[in-house]
Every structure is written in C-alpha cells, then in structure tokens.
Copies of this chain bind each other. A is one copy, B any other.
Amino acid sequence: MAERNPTKPEADGRLRVVIESVTPRVDGGRFPAKRVEGENVVVEADCFADGHDVLRARLLLRAEDDKQWREAEMTALGNDRWRGSFVAGPPGRYRFAVCAWVDHFESWRNELVRREDPEDIRIAALVGADLIRGTAGRASGADRKRLEDWSAVLRAKAPADSLKAAALDEALAAVAARYPDRSLTTCTAEMPLEIDRTLAAFGAWYELFPRSASTAPGRHGTFKDVEKRLPYVAKLGFDVLYLPPIHPIGREKRKGRNNTLVTKPGDVGSPWAIGSAEGGHLAVHPDLGTPADFRRLVAKAKEHGIEIALDIAYQCAPDHPWVKEHPAWFRSRPDGTVQYAENPPKKYQDIYPFDFESKDWRALWEALKGVIDFWIGEGVRIFRVDNPHTKSFAFWGWMIPEVKRSHPEVIFLAEAFTRPRVMHRLAKLGFSQSYTYFTWRNTRAELTEYFTELSRGPGRDYFRPNVWPNTPDILPESLQYGGRAMAVSRVVLASTLAASYGIYGPAFELMDNRARVPGAEEYLDSEKYELRHWDLKRPESLGPIIAMLNRIRRENPALHGNGSLRFLPTDNEQVLCYSKSTADGSNQVVVAVNLDPHNPHTCWIDLDLEALGLEPGRAFQMHDLLTGARYLWNGPRNFLRLDPAHSPAHIFLVRRHVHREQDFDYFL
C-alpha cells in the first residue's frame, strides 16, 4: 500500500496512521476496478495507528480530469477495517483515495469518559480547552463563537463533575467534529476506478449475419433487410444486435463453403477476411448497402431499444489496401511474400496478421485506433473484438483508455477463448466484457466451480463475463446431441447465471445442430462462408422462451449483477440450483435446472431461509416465472421435479409472506 513513504525520515515522520489493503483494487491499483453508473461503490481499507488513539477516515473521490475531491466519512467495522461508499456518477475514469488521521479531539473525549480522579478530570478539561481553542481557529462565524465559549467553560474553575459534563456535551462535540485537525493525515495513493454505463455489465446480445437476413433464399442480405429484422430481435427482448464484420471481403485466397481452399463462383468468403479493392476497415461491403444505409440501421435499431455492436477484427485479407500501403505493418517472408496466419501445419492464407513488433508500430497503433474512432463517428458505441489475445497487450492498454477518454460510453467485448491469465489481462487492460468458458461447462460441478470463480474470484472487480451457448465458431456437443431440452437449459443457464449473455441466431433459436463433421464443434454450411436462409416462423423456434427469459431478466434486478450468485445444495447431481438477489434483498430469484436433457429428475433442495429473509415456520410462495405456477413452500427443504419434456427449468421469484392475512393480495 502506498501511503507516503515512511521509510525515509525526510518524509513526514510524524504521520502515525497506516492505511493498507484498500478494496476494490486491481493489481495494487495498477488497473481500475470497474463499476457501473448509479451503483453504490463500497470502498474498504485497514486504517490503524500506534497506541489506542481514535482515528477518523475519509473516502475521497474525483473524476480523473477534475481537481476537486469529494469526501465521504468512513466508518469503523471493527478489527481496524473501515468502510465508506458513494453512488457512482456518469461513465468515466475516476480516482479514489483513503485518508485517515489521529483524531485527538475524539481521543480526548473517549478517555475523559473513563476518567474518575477529580484532579485528573481538571487537567483533562484544560487539555480539552486547548484542543477546542485550536478547533475554533479552523471554524468561523457562529461555530467559532460556540467553540470559543466551550473552551472558556473548560478553563473555568469548577467542580470536576460539572467540568466533565460540560466536556462531554454531544451537541458541541458534533460542531467540533466539523473542523478536524488534519495536519498529520495519511493518504493512500490514488486508485483508479472505471464507471461504465449499465449495458457494460447487464445486457442480452443477439448475433446475426446481415448477408443472411434477406427474406428471399439465395439473395445477399442488406442493412435494409436487417432493419426489417429489428422488430423480431426487439420482440425477443435483446439489447444488443451484434454484426460480424461488415467490410469488403478479400478476393485473394478467399475460402469456399465449409472452409474449403477452393472457391466456386458466387462464394461470398469469410467476413473476417477483411479488405479488398473496395476498401478496408473503414468501408462497408457494397453488397450490404451504403454507409448511409448503415447509419440508418443504427438509428432505426435505437428506436427499437437496440444498439448495434460491430465486430473489430484487426487483420487483413491479402488484397486489403493497407497491405500495399503499409508493408512495414506485416511480417515479410524471405521469398518476398507477406506472412499469413498459421499454426503449423494449419495455414490461413486468406488472413495477414499485423506485426506488433513492427518498427512502424506507432503508425499502426494510430491506424487501428482510427478504425474505432471512425465507427464511433458512424454512431457505433459497442465493439466486439475478434481474437484480441493475438494482438499485443500494450496496444489494448493504450487504445481502449484513449478511446474511452473521449467516449466513456463505449463498450468493448473481448472474444478471447484462450488461457485464463491472458483473458484476465485483457479485462484488466480495459475490455468491458469477456467471452467465457461457459460454452464448455456442462456438469453441475463444472458450472458451480466456474461461476463461483466468475462471481467471487479475483476477477470480480474487473472481469465481466458475457456467456454464450453458441457462436458461429462453436456448435458445442451439448447442442449437437441434447435436443430442445438442452437448448432450453443452456439458454436458461446463460441468461440467469450471468448478467450479460448472448446467442448466435437464428441458428440458436432454430436449433441448427448439424456439425460439419462428427466430433467437430463447427456448424455444417456455416454462415461464415456462405449465405443462409432461416425460416423464423418455424413452430419449434425457441423464440418465445427466449423472449420470456429476457423479460424475466429485465423485470428482476436480482439478475442484473453477478456478485450475489450463490449455489444451493441439491441431492441430485443432475439438478443445478442457485439464487441471486439485490443488495437490499427486495428481489430474490431461485433457479433450478435439470442438466440431463433425456430424463426427468427429482431432488430435494436446501434453501437458506435466513439469507432469503424468510421467517422459519411461515409459508412463502415460489412463483415460477417461466410457467406462471405458484407453489407454497414451508421450511428450508423442498422437493422438485423437472421433466425435460415439459420444462427443464424453474425460475422462481421468491414472494415473501406479508402481514395482511385478510387481503386477497396475500403475497407481494
């Protein structure tokens, strides 16, 4: 911890207070902790001094570009721990610090209470008179007068009893407390704090390929087609509509259907092979429409309460204009060709990665940031970043804060399916959200361990999970073989375990479960390489269930965060049960999911009645928000049956008994 360095006698050696273990704090204050607008931000610290004097501690807060600190009193929790809080302001970078000092005035009162010897009390009154005179010197007006008078009273000759009573006057003490002597105050270093808008922490995402949005099979979809799809997405209840790259697609080395090396006429290529003669990262694919069409889509989406998120893939097709304009940004091979992406023996000849060890890295960084700046100019505020873990950390650590300095409302989602340390580093460097391992966590033990780590582990202050049952790259085995029940349970889990989740549609809601080859996790006839046409009206669509889940999420603030997640014991390994609640306990949700898509399961679950604020011995209602059914439960141990043929999950709203037994409205 970083109070002013006390190891040098040149520093103010009279500072007696030590401040340690400040939370929230990421890597000792090297990176900002993250919170959202309007959230109550709780800061704690160990504050203590030698001896037994009373301390006072304050929490200081300022916006990064503001010189003025706001201050909030901290309170002692016991065992030298102190706590203060403030309500997070608008999005931006903030700094906070903790300051504490020995409160000689309160120490004096504290000792005086325990003094018994009259002579002792008389001397203590004189000590207090001096302290209060000093306090008066920091006050003005009426307060100053009151304190001066008080000091005089304590200096007067009087019986010890009446001196003690005068010295312990509560009202005058409250006045004095407003003018503390802070001449010997210890302060921590300033800690960074990032406030995001709510959507950075709580949101439902829907991904679709614009080129497959056409209403006519075989016709290349356009931004206008996506516009027509907006009511559908809005009806499903999604907050974010995320589009894969919308730029011109390279023609050189273009991949054919199902990722083949040879293209046939009409093959559209992968949108992630960015750039052609028509332009690069700042252009839109001519077949999708014009820049004006795109801006119109952004605006129309907003009318539906939906934000458009763009895919940022920092890589180039061989015919991207930058390849010729900036050869220094790529690695060249001894044969004069540009080094394509590879993981031997696999080759990705349609993709040229940037060389972050380039001598021209400054220009490269600026150009890459320029891509974000450009799309911000086009109205986009959410970016889903493709494979950020293959670009240098130093770049992200510079670019994201730079962008957010002017646009604190921007949200970056990191698509890094890689090793844990790497994913965490990206989150620390500034990514607002991160993809997770949810897609491959299926059993009760796996889900419990992973979501306990996500909600309460070391990443809780900076790593915000955004969980996806599927993506265009990943059709997990669960969805290949689990049928409808599995799809339902996966989206119930995603939408209730995590405050942010997403699906890749319409593949998800239409339950496309065909893998390219058995054992692969890739979609057959993937939209990554061809146009697809989806019949959204198919009766088996999961659309209505998803719409209900998104409505439940919006209506229940317990589901807006991750920190309150607690897993509940059940006696059947196939049933996962967990609860979430708001900080004040006013909204409490209990979810139970049958993880086995093939068989009905029963179990006993154990509720923590005290944590739920329920009175033992008094019935309470479990209102299943999925089916509307209401169950009257009594006591902590209750029986459940979950049949995947009907619904593999319950999402219970806990309705507490209210004391109006005569009323019809028996439960809130």
- Name the CB-closest residue of B to A117: B345
A362 is an interface residue with CB less than 8 A from chain B: yes
Docked CA distance A334–B120 (Å): 11
Bound together, the chains give a CA A245 to CA B87 distance in angstroms of 54
**B419/A48 in contact, CB under 8 A:** yes
A112 to B345, CA, bound (A): 9
Chain B positions within 8 Å of A11 at CB level: 394
- Assuming the A-B contacts A393-B6, A422-B80, are A344 and B114 also in contact, with contact meaning beta carbons closer than 8 angstroms in the complex? yes
Q: Which of A345, A392, A420 has the most CB of B within 10 A?
A: A392
CA distance A617 to B9 in the complex (A): 64
With A30-B1, A334-B123 known as contacts, the answer to whether A13 contacts B365 (CB < 8 A) is: yes
Q: A395-403, A438-446, A526-534, A575-583: which one contacts chain B?
A: A395-403
Q: Is A16 an interface residue (CB 8 A)?
A: yes
Q: In the assembly, how many copies of this chain are there?
A: 2
Residues of B within 8 A of A646 (CB): none
Q: Per-position contact with B for A380-399: 1 when CB-CB < 8 Å, else 0?
A: 00000000011111110110
Residue of B nearest to A184 (CB): B357
CB distance from A428 to the nearest CB of B (A): 9
**B79 near A420 (CB under 8 angstroms)?**
yes
Inter-chain contact A51/B127, CB cutoff 8 Å: no
Please report which residues of chain A, range 1-24, place their CB below 8 angstroms from some CB of chain B when the two chains form the complex: 1-2, 6-9, 11, 13-16, 18, 20
Q: Report if A663 contacts B (CB, 8 A).
A: no
Let me know if A51 and B389 touch, CB within 8 A: yes
Asked if A28 CB lies within 8 Å of chain B CBs, one says yes
**B421 contacts A15, C-beta separation under 8 Å:** no
B79 and A394 within 8 A (CB): no
- A260: CB under 8 A from chain B? no
Contact B390 A51 (CB under 8 A): yes
User: Which of these, B7, B49, B114, B425, contacts A401 with CB under 8 Å?
Assistant: B7
- Is A333 at the interface (CB under 8 A from chain B)? yes
Q: For residue A65, which residues in chain B have a CB less than 8 angstroms away from its CB?
A: none
Which of B9, B18, B401 makes the CB contact (< 8 A) with A362?
Answer: B9
Digit string of A350-368 for contact with B (CB within 8 Å is 1, else 0)?
0000001110011001000
> Roughly how many angstroms separate A130 CA and B398 CA in the complex, as a whole number?
32
Partner among B117, B361, B425 whose Cβ is within 8 Å of the Cβ of A18: B425
Contacts of A114 in B (CB 8 A): 344-345
How many residues on A have C-beta within 8 angstroms of the other chain's C-beta atoms? 67
Q: Is the beta-carbon distance between A27 and B13 smaller than 8 angstroms?
A: no
> Separation in Å of the A630 CB from the closest CB of chain B?
44
Question: Which one of B51, B111, B356 contacts A14 once the chains associate, using CB atoms below 8 Å?
Answer: B356
Q: Which residues of B contact A170 (CB under 8 A)?
A: none
Of listed A51, A120, A365, residue having the most chain B CB within 10 A: A51
Q: How far is the CA of A7 from the CA of B425 in the complex (A)?
A: 13
Q: Which residues of B contact A182 (CB under 8 A)?
A: none
Contact flags A9-53 to B (C-beta < 8 A → 1, else 0): 101011110101000000110100000000000000010111110
Q: A419-B79, A421-B48, A421-B80 are in contact. Are A20 and B9 (CB under 8 A)?
A: no
Contacts of A334 in B (CB 8 A): 123, 126-127, 129-130
Q: Residue on B with the closest CB to A130? A: B334
Contact bitstring A470-494, B, C-beta under 8 A = 1, else 0: 0000000000000000000000000
Q: Which residues of chain B have C-beta atoms less than 8 A from A1's C-beta?
A: 27-28, 30
The residues of B that contact A27 with a CB separation of less than 8 Å are 1, 20, 28
* In-complex Cβ contact of A398 among B6, B112, B184, B344 (8 A): B6
| Interchain CA distance A291-B178 in the complex, whole Å | 55
Is A662 an interface residue when CB atoms closer than 8 A count as contact? Answer: no
A345 engages B115 (CB within 8 Å): yes
Interface residue from B6, B392, B419, B422 paired with A13 (Cβ < 8 Å):
B392
Q: Is A335 an interface residue (CB 8 A)?
A: yes
> A48 and B357: CB pair below 8 A?
no
Given contacts A1-B27, A6-B397, A11-B394, 9 further A-B contacts (CB under 8 A): A1-B28, A8-B398, A49-B392, A80-B419, A112-B344, A117-B345, A127-B333, A127-B334, A129-B334
